[in-house]
Amino acid sequence: MNSAMSFSATYDQARTKFKGAVAAAGGALEALAHPERGREGEALSTDVAWFGPRDAERVLVMIAGTHGVEGFCGSGAQIDWLARGEAARLPAGVAVLMIHGVNPYGFSWLRRVTQENVDLNRNWVDFAAPLPANRGYDDLSEAICPAEWSEDSRAASARVLGAYLGSHGPADLQHALSGGQYNHPAGVFYGGIEPTWSRRTQTAIFENYLGAAAKVAIIDYHTGLGPWGYGEQIVTEAPGCEGYLRAKAWWGGAIASPADGTSTSAPITGDGLAAAPRLLPRAQVTAMALEVGTLPLEEVFGAVRADAWLHAHGDLASPQGAAIKAQIRAAFYGDADDWKGMVAGQSLLAVRQAIAGLTG
C-alpha cells in the first residue's frame, strides 16, 4: 500500500480521512466539539476512536496533534495503521484508543499552540501552586519575540541570543527558549494560567475510556526535532525509573530521555506524558513520544517565533502572513513521500512493539 495516501493536506481533510478509516475498521467514534472555528471556517473537534473490548485492561493510546500543526504526522500514522487492517489483529483483551486532533485549533490554524496561545505540553502543571520560573526566558523575551518582524529585528535578536549562548552554553539556551515559561502570554512555549480546553478534553477522555485499564501504553506523535524523517523515541522519565526501563524493554536501546541529555529535547515543564500516571493512578503507564525530524533546529525555531509574531502583531491575510504559515507548516510537516513513509513504518513498528509489551 502507499502510506503517503494516509496523510493529508489540511486539518479538515485529515479529520474526514480519519473518520472514514475508523468506520471502515469497525471502530467506535466520538466527536468532542471545540468552541472555535478552523482557519477555513470549518467545525473543529477532537475525535476519539476505540477498537477492542470496552472493558479491556490493556490499552494502547495513540495521540495526534498535541502540538496542533504536528498533527499531520500523528493523523497519518493513525490512518495508516487502520488502513493496514491492524485493528482486526489485536490480541484478545487488548484495546486501542486513538485521540485525533487533541489540539484541533492548532492543527487547523497551523500553530503549535492552542487557541489560548498555550503550548499544551507546558500546560500540565498544578496551577494552584507557584508556577515554574524560567529566568532565562524572562531575560531573553524581547529578543525571542520582538514586536517587529524584519531582517533588522531578527539580526538584533540573533546578537542577543548569540551572546547568551556564548556566556551560558547551548543546554542553558535551549532550556531558556523551550523549557516552558509562564510570564509572557504572547510568547513561545507559554504554559498558560489555567488548564486549556485541550487539557480538560484529554483529561475527560482518559477518565471516560481508561477507567478499567490496568496497563496503558501511550504513543504521542511529535515533529520538529532531529534529522529528516528519523523518529526519536523520547521517554520523559529518568533512566532507572520503572517506566523508563519498561519503555526500553519494549522499544529498544534507542530510547532517549531529556533527563540524562540523550534526547534532542530539552527538559520541559508541564508535559502530558509526565502527567499521564497522575491521570491514571490505577494503571501501569508506559509512555513514549515519537519525535520525527523535519528541518534544522534553527529553521524550526525561527518558524515558531515568526508565527507567534504573526498572531500577536501581524496580518494573517497579508502575503507575509501566508509566507509565515507556509514556513511553519514546512517546519513541522515533511510533506514528501519519503518522510511520510518513514513516519508510517516507524509508527507501525512502535505500535506493534507496544502491543507486544502490553501482552508480555
Q: What is the DSSP string of 199-243?
A: HHHHHHHHHHHSTT-SEEEEEEEEEEEEEET-EEEE-SSPTTSHH
pTM above 0.95, yes or no: yes
CA distance 217 to 240: 18
Question: Under 8 Å CB-to-CB from 194, ≥6 apart: which residues?
Answer: 127
CA distance 95 to 27: 11
The residue among 336, 335, 306, 339 whose CA lies nearest residue 323 is 306
Contact 248, 180 (CB under 8 A): no
| Strand, coil or helix: 94 | strand
Q: Which residue has cell 551560558?
A: 168
pLDDT of residue 266: 83
CA distance 133 to 304: 21
pLDDT of residue 110: 98
Class of domain 3-128+195-299+327-359: alpha beta
pLDDT of residue 125: 97
Q: Which amino acid is it at 114?
A: T
pLDDT tens-digit readout, 329-344: 999 999 999 999 999 9
Q: Which residue has cell 526501563?
A: 245
Low-confidence ranges of the chain (pLDDT < 50): none
Q: Which amino acid is it at 59?
A: V
Q: Which amino acid is it at 151?
A: E
